[in-house]
Amino acid sequence: MANIKTAVVTAGSRGIGRAVVLKLLQEGMQVITCSRSEIKLQALHLDASEFLTTNQLQSIPADLSGKPGVEKFLNFVHDKTATVDLLVNNAGAFIPGKVSDEPDGALEDMIDINLYSAYRVTRGLLPGMIQRKRGHIFNMCSVASIMPYEHGGSYCVAKYALLGFTRVLREEMKKQGIRVTAVLPGATLSDSWKDVELPEERFMPPEDIASCIYHTFQLSPRTVVEDIVLRPQLGDI
């Protein structure tokens, strides 16, 4: 049991987050996750039950778009483990629109869930990582972090900011023994694209993103992959 590593994955009940949780569980890691939906968390536990060991998956309903939800989740994590080896900041949301005409409050909403959630969860778990001089943090950015598009609006702004946060954190953590990686996926088969009339084959499977994260985590502590950019084989949508 002493060699089992612990991962924290935010928003782990669907899409890329769900794929990451299932991949890490299959590889024998302990996983602590959250979701705004308790029903979706129950479905996650059911899907993972065939390969779970006792208490390998711990979860709690929590909305990370505000401080109370983050504090609730962090208290849950600290209650379950004293050691976090891997953090995947996956919580996020996409609201299409243009800066020129999107509804008032769109920027605040996008910043709250796409940036502040990662910032606050990271700050809550960093002290333990710094004390142990080890850990790996993955922030789920997007190709929208490096390539603005017309209907991206405040989502692009938030994802650009998340990439900036990730790169600043990378510089700060170099001498602390903590690796920091930005994950920038393109169109991935998830709820964000549910209303788009395109064939499934046009999207990347979320399991591919999960595999990249796991195998990057498995590298020697002497090596860090700073950015992972993934796009569908046929290009961006």
Examine the pLDDT at 7 and tell me if it is beyond 60: yes
- Predicted TM-score (pTM) of the model is 0.95
> Given this model, what pLDDT does residue 5 score?
97
Q: Check residue 53 and give its pLDDT.
A: 82
- pLDDT of res. 194: 65
Asked if 220 contacts 175 with a C-beta cutoff of 8 angstroms, the reply is no
Q: What CATH topology corresponds to 6-230?
A: Rossmann fold (3.40.50)
- The ranges assigned to domains in the chain are 6-230
Task: Report how far Cα 78 is from the mean position of its chain's Cα atoms.
Answer: 19
pLDDT tens per residue across span 41-74: 999 999 999 888 888 999 999 999 999 999 999 9
The predicted pLDDT at position 107 comes to 96
pLDDT at position 100 is: 94
Q: How far is CA 180 from the centre of its chain?
A: 12
